[in-house]
């Protein structure tokens, strides 16, 4: 198609690739127009090019896009004044119609519009961009791209007034102009620069060949008057009636091309088509045999069916076979169509809705406002991936999940088995203790304690480790209620494992050593029922909630030489709800069954003349807090009550709490403020039952007969 302007002629072609194949028809929303006879003042010399596309939550007719492009052109040529003012009025009109779709009470549809409109006046081109859009100017010696990221993030239809970004440049003969609303990436600069000197049709062929994905664009080539070659008129061979030549001026809103864009070559039936035809013939033959067999069986069961029919009536056997076969055929055809077309179409619809939700999230004014859109996108992707996971759904899921993780302070960790084959078959690991050198594991099911040493690359079970190896393996030792790692004082600093049962029997194990039993000396009031313990330096802290006591034992690893004292000295505290303790340099941390924490510091005050007194100060009823915008503690800890508390004195002293229900770990600062939520990249086969930390950055989770390890990035 050719259009004469004051000094240049225009040749137009379209890039329309859909479902992986080039199309010869212009894409929806592509329009090129010269000024009509009754154009508004200032519009008579203008040539308008529009590329418009819509994103809607459900598939819609391309006629809507064409209608809006036509409407934008009418408004432009009907608006007097400057080019930019008329372009803005065209954008306002499209924006208003998209908002009306969203407010439709019968069927509201939230649509987002992307439009690039270019106006040629003489050798000047004025461009208006709304939403994602690119205008690429190709000259013999350079390629220039005009686009705006700010406009790309503010599509039509989502605000009361449109955001329009304007561009202006000059053109000359042999220049090529590409208008597209397709999101990047587009074409490489080397591909674009190679289009210089080509006519529009050949340029389209080259761009189509370089497009790996679906894509829509309009290509405009400018030439001096008389340079364009008129398309030849091909006379039909079999018809004596001559073909009327194609007009060379703008005739409609859907312009014809000056040269026909090369279409996909015609081929014979594909292997798939021939295979389906063969299958169809086989199915038809099978249905025929089945119907005949059913008719025979029906006739045997009802002998009257063999009687000769009345004149003009259908044979009873045929009626019976038809009544049986038709429902079966209908079900078979419906199932075949659904499996071949319905399921993929439904999946595509869900992906489209997810894409729409992602686009809506990306244009929200702040991250918290975008949250419901990210969550909606994941919901649609869950539905789409029931039909299969694709590259597109995986990419969209990653985008939405990363955005939500950033809002929720979530860090995804890749947990792998510490011991590849796991521990004993049927083991149920309920407690673990870890150090830089190894891993100690309590198997509650077999009442055994295992040790796996760190080789530097993985963990290997030590077959010579002697500790608890069954219910009766060590006399006097009951079921352990807690584990702790203790480094004995002295220059060697031997690492030992402590395991304690509920009546105060202490088991001490170490690699290459025989296990030892120590019975803690009970106070006059009795030890009570032991719930938890921790060991720091030469002191063992033991929690007995039924006595409201925390005992401190010195020299506990020497039978008969241990001494004890009450942590709170002369002060009495109600510890009946306490479930775990942890000794840290900030003090003794006490975790209660309702989730709150006390931090108590114990100091010795010299009274002079050899007298001393013990003073204990506690920060009580500290609740875990969530400082994130729009969140609250109840939201974070809903249906979660920690059973154990783990402490790390790393770069930032922190508390780590295991949430078995969500299979995650929450990290809090010493002021109880929320810092991190560690989640698993891949779910574990069973809910985690125990948590441990090891320097410098290792974290361990126990589940079933496995212990899984991950590294926390500092």
Tens digits of residue pLDDT in 564-575: 889 998 888 899
Whether 393 shows a pLDDT value over 70: the answer reads yes
For the stretch 518-544, pLDDT in tens is 998 888 888 899 999 999 878 899 999
Whether 264 shows a pLDDT value over 60: the answer reads no
β-bridge pairing 480-487 and 459-461: unpaired
Whether 429 shows a pLDDT value over 60: the answer reads yes
Q: Which of 102-111, 255-264, 293-302 has the highest mean pLDDT?
A: 102-111
Nearest partner of 620 among 580, 674, 672, 660, judged by Cα: 672
Sorted by sequence, the CB contacts under 8 Å of residue 490 that are 6+ apart come out as none
Least confident of 6-20, 87-101, 177-191: 6-20
Partnered with residue 17 across adjacent β-strands are: 22, 215
Structure confidence at residue 478 (pLDDT): 92
CA distance 157 to 99: 5
User: With the CA atoms of 127, 131, 132 and 138 taken in that order, what torsion angle do they form, in degrees rounded to the nearest 10?
Assistant: 0
CA distance 647 to 583: 8
Whether 102 shows a pLDDT value over 80: the answer reads no
User: With the CA atoms of 233, 235, 236 and 238 taken in that order, what torsion angle do they form, in degrees rounded to the nearest 10?
Assistant: 180
H or E element at residue 642:
none
What is the SS3 string spanning 339-386?
A: HHHHHHHHHHHHHHHHHHHHHHHHCCCCHHHHHHHHHHHHHHHHHHHH
Residue 149 region, left (φ>0) first, then alpha (ψ -120 to 50), else beta?
Answer: alpha
305 or 200, which is more confident: 200
Structure confidence at residue 271 (pLDDT): 41
Q: What is the mean pLDDT of residues 665-682?
A: 87
Structure confidence at residue 584 (pLDDT): 83
- Which residue reads 């992906």 in tokens? 351
Q: What is the mean pLDDT of residues 388-402?
A: 88
Share of the chain above pLDDT 90, in %: 32
Structure confidence at residue 245 (pLDDT): 35
Structure confidence at residue 5 (pLDDT): 42
703 or 713, which is more confident: 703
Give the number of residues written for the chain: 714
Whether 466 shows a pLDDT value over 80: the answer reads yes
Question: Quick check: 699 and 416 in contact, CB under 8 A?
Answer: no
The sheet carrying 664-669 orders its strands as 410-413, 674-680, 664-669, 654-659, 645-648
Other C-beta atoms closer than 10 Å to the C-beta of 196 total 16
The sheet carrying 112-121 orders its strands as 30-34, 47-55, 112-121, 124-130, 165-170
CA distance 53 to 182: 8
If you average pLDDT over every residue of the chain, what do you get?
A: 80
The sheet carrying 532-536 orders its strands as 532-536, 539-544, 549-554, 563-566
Long-range contacts of 189-195 (CB under 8 A, 24+ apart): 189/143, 192/136, 192/138, 192/143, 193/138, 193/142, 193/143, 195/138
pLDDT band, residue 641 (cuts 50/70/90)? low
pLDDT band, residue 627 (cuts 50/70/90)? low
CA distance 655 to 590: 12
Q: What is the mean pLDDT of residues 187-194?
A: 86
Least confident of 98-102, 284-288, 327-331, 451-455: 284-288
For residue 593, which phi and psi values (nearest 5 degrees)? -70, -15
Whether 87 shows a pLDDT value over 90: the answer reads yes
- C-alpha distances (whole Å) from 624 to each of 254, 577, 591, 657 are 64, 17, 11, 11
DSSP annotation of 548 reads T
Structure confidence at residue 620 (pLDDT): 87
Question: Quick check: 177 and 139 in contact, CB under 8 A?
Answer: no
Whether 374 shows a pLDDT value over 80: the answer reads yes
327 or 482, which is more confident: 482
Structure confidence at residue 252 (pLDDT): 35
Q: What is the mean pLDDT of residues 369-386?
A: 90
Rounded to an integer, what is the distance from CA 14 to the centroid of its chain?
35
Whether 560 shows a pLDDT value over 90: the answer reads no
Question: Quick check: 405 and 427 in contact, CB under 8 A?
Answer: no
Structural tokens at position 59? 């598939």
DSSP annotation of 479 reads -
Partnered with residue 250 across adjacent β-strands are: none
Q: How far apart are the first and last CA of the chain?
A: 63
For residue 413, which phi and psi values (nearest 5 degrees)? -115, 145
Render the burial of 474-497: b for 16+ CB within 10 Å, e for the rest.
Answer: beebeebbbbbbbeeeeeeeebbb
CA distance 582 to 595: 15
Q: What is the mean pLDDT of residues 201-215?
A: 83
Task: Give me the CATH code for the 2-223 domain, please.
Answer: 3.60.40.10
Q: Locate CATH 3.60.40.10 in the chain.
A: 2-223
Q: Is the dihedral of CA 525, 526, 532, 537 positive or negative?
A: positive
Structural tokens at position 713? 């990035």
**C-alpha gyration radius of the chain:** 39
416 or 631, which is more confident: 416
Whether 249 shows a pLDDT value over 50: the answer reads no
Nearest partner of 254 among 29, 5, 4, judged by Cα: 29
Structure confidence at residue 254 (pLDDT): 36
User: With the CA atoms of 534, 540, 542 and 548 taken in that order, what torsion angle do they form, in degrees rounded to the nearest 10?
Assistant: -120
Q: Where are the beta strands (DSSP E) in 39-164?
A: 47-55, 112-121, 124-130, 134-139, 142-146
506 or 286, which is more confident: 506
Give this prediction's pTM.
Answer: 0.54
Structure confidence at residue 251 (pLDDT): 34
Helix (H, G, I), strand (E, B) or coil at 451: strand
Q: Locate CATH 2.120.10.30 in the chain.
A: 425-711
DSSP annotation of 256 reads P
CA distance 519 to 559: 7
Whether 37 shows a pLDDT value over 80: the answer reads yes
Q: What is the mean pLDDT of residues 9-34?
A: 86
Q: What is the mean pLDDT of residues 628-656?
A: 69
Task: Give me the CATH code for the 425-711 domain, please.
Answer: 2.120.10.30
Share of the chain above pLDDT 70, in %: 78
Structural tokens at position 372? 């419901």
657 or 294, which is more confident: 657
């Amino acid at each position: 198609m050719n259009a004469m302007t004051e000094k240049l002629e225009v040749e137009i072609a379209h890039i329309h690739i859909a479902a992986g194949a080039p199309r010869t028809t212009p894409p929806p929303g592509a329009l090129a127009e010269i000024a009509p006879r009754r154009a508004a003042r200032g519009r008579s010399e203008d040539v308008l090019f529009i590329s418009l596309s819509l994103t809607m939550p459900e598939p819609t007719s391309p006629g809507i896009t064409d209608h809006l492009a036509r409407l934008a052109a009418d408004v432009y040529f009907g608006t007097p004044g400057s080019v930019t003012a008329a372009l803005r009025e065209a954008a306002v009109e499209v924006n208003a119609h998209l908002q009306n779709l969203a407010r439709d009470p019968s069927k509201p549809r939230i649509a987002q519009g992307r439009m690039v409109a270019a106006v040629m006046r003489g050798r000047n081109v004025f461009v208006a961009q709304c939403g994602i859009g690119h205008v690429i100017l190709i000259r013999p010696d350079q390629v220039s791209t005009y686009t705006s990221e700010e406009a790309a993030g503010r599509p039509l239809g989502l605000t009361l007034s449109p955001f329009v970004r304007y561009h202006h440049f000059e053109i000359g003969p042999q220049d090529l102009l590409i208008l597209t609303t397709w999101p990047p990436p587009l074409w490489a600069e080397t591909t674009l620069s190679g289009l210089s000197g080509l006519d529009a049709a050949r340029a389209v062929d080259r761009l189509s060949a370089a497009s790996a994905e679906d894509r829509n664009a309009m290509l405009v080539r400018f030439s001096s008057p008389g340079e364009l070659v008129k398309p030849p008129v091909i006379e039909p061979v079999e018809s004596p009636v001559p073909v009327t030549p194609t007009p060379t001026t703008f005739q409609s809103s859907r312009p014809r091309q000056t040269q026909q864009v090369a279409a996909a070559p015609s081929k014979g039936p594909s292997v798939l088509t021939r295979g389906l035809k063969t299958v169809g013939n086989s199915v038809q033959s099978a249905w025929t045999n089945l119907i005949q067999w059913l008719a025979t069986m029906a006739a045997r069961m009802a002998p009257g069916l063999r009687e000769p029919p009345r004149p003009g009536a259908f044979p009873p056997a045929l009626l019976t076979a038809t009544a049986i076969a038709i429902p079966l055929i209908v079900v078979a055809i419906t199932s075949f169509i659904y499996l071949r077309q319905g399921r993929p179409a439904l999946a595509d619809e869900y992906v489209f809705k997810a894409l729409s939700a992602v686009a809506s999230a990306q244009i929200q004014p702040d991250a918290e406002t975008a949250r419901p859109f990210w969550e909606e996108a994941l919901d649609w992707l869950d539905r789409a991936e029931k039909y299969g996971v694709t590259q597109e759904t995986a990419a969209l899921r990653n985008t939405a999940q990363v955005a939500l993780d950033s809002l929720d302070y979530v860090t995804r960790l890749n947990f792998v088995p510490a011991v590849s084959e796991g521990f004993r078959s049927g083991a149920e690991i309920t407690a673990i203790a870890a150090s830089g050198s190894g891993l100690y594991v309590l198997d509650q099911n077999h009442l055994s304690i295992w040790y796996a040493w760190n080789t530097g690359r993985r963990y290997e079970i030590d077959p010579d480790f002697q500790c608890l190896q069954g219910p009766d393996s060590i006399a006097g030792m009951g079921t352990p209620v807690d584990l702790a790692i203790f480094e004995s004082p002295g220059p060697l600093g031997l690492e030992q494992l402590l395991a304690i049962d509920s009546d105060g029997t202490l088991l001490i194990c170490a690699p290459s050593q025989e296990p030892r039993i120590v019975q803690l000396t009970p106070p006059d009031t009795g030890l009570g029922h032991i719930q938890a313990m921790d060991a720091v330096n030469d002191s063992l802290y033991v929690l007995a909630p039924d006595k409201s006591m925390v005992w401190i034992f010195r020299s506990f690893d020497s039978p008969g030489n241990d001494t004890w004292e009450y942590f709170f000295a002369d002060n009495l505290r109600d510890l009946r709800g306490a479930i775990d303790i942890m000794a840290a340099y900030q003090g003794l941390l006490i975790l209660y069954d309702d989730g709150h924490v006390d931090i108590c510091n114990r100091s010795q005050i010299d009274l002079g003349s050899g007298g001393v007194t013990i003073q204990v100060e506690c920060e009580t009823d500290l609740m875990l807090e969530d400082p994130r915008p729009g969140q609250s503690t109840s939201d974070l800890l809903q249906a979660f009550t920690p059973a154990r508390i783990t402490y790390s004195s790393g770069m930032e002293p922190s508390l780590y709490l295991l949430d078995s229900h969500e299979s995650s770990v929450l990290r809090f600062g010493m002021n109880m403020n929320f810092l991190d939520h560690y989640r698993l990249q891949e779910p574990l086969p069973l809910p985690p039952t125990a948590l441990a930390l090891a320097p410098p950055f290792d974290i361990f989770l126990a589940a079933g007969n496995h212990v899984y390890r991950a590294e926390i990035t500092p």
